Amino acid sequence: MYLTVLSRSPEIYTTRRIVEAAQARGVVARVIDPLEVEMGLGEDAPQVYWRRRRLPRTDVLVPRIGLSVHQYGLAVVNQLELVGIPVLNGAYGIAASRNKMRSLQMLSAAGVRVPRTVMASDPSGLREMVRVVGGVPVLVKLLSTSEKSGVMICESLQSLEAAFEAILGLGQNIVVQQYLKGAKGRDLRVIVVGGDVVAAMRRSPPVGRFSRSLRRGARFEKAELPAPYARAAVDAARVLQLEVCAVDMLDVKGVPRVFEVNSSPSIKEAEVACRVDVAGRIVDRAISLAEARAVPSRRRARSGAAAL
């Protein structure tokens, strides 16, 4: 079997671990930079090229599309889906997760609880937005056209005023989100693969600083996940049609509230904190998808031979 990881570099921790896990299972793995892929349309069928040649045999694809190549990477994933290659995750799911407001809309419509959230294109309405979600503290997210987001916490009216001055005139869409006091400083990140929870962590930002990134000093520790939280994570992945994702949720009084879903999460924190082979679980799911796709093909081939 041949597995392709779509990633900018083979040295990225998650990419490297997926390749190692594939090789440990006897799977031939290669890393392809999405920017080195060319796509062709207009012939009898869509065409995919890598470095000006036909794409090497790929039985299953694991996309690792970074924000820096979001649009082109999505086009590549979509083209590979068009030619019939099984993917973890598809272009639809990646795009849905990257649009933060759209993903929350989809989750809420499907019955997955989310924090109270409002979005506006004019920062002058920031104070009213905060009132609508229940007052401070709140999360303020700045969304750019590249879907990159900056996040800050406003714990008081004074910090809200400072945030207002900082973002006024930036011309970015703004999302203001309820930040429930019971979850202050700690939230849950749940890794879901193939509809199963494989790791759960609590995240604590450094004292005096709001951060959800390990590289910025946040601490991760293994968490026991109650059944309602596991169901919320699995449901979020299902709604956004993601085979692999990290579901971020607030843990408040026994009620999970999903505030973000990441379709290309780092697995380092989960593997270190939870001592779980997340890369292996991803590869196992990729193998099962490839094998499931191969079975109908073999049946069609046998049916064709019998007809002859």
Q: How far apart are CA 141 and CA 127, in angstroms?
A: 14
Q: How far apart are CA 58 and CA 134, in angstroms?
A: 50
Which CATH superfamily includes the segment(s) 116-179?
Answer: ATP-grasp fold, A domain (3.30.1490.20)
Report which of 35, 99, 105, 38 is spatially closest to residue 64, judged by C-alpha positions.
35
Hey, do 2-96+281-303 and 116-179 end up sharing a CATH topology, with the first three levels equal? no
Neighbours of 23 (CB within 10 A): 13
- Which region among 165-169, 256-260, 275-279 has the lowest average model confidence (pLDDT)? 165-169
Domain definitions of the chain by residue range: 2-96+281-303, 116-179
Write down the CATH number for the domain with range 2-96+281-303: 3.40.50.20
Query: Which pLDDT score, from 0 to 100, does residue 186 have?
Result: 67
Average pLDDT over residues 176-191: 75
Q: Which two tokens stand for residue 12?
A: 């990225």
Residue 44 has pLDDT above 60, yes or no: yes
Entry pTM = 0.86
Question: What mean pLDDT is reported for the chain?
Answer: 85
Q: How far apart are CA 21 and CA 30, in angstroms?
A: 12
Report which of 265, 270, 213, 215 is spatially closest to residue 237, judged by C-alpha positions.
265
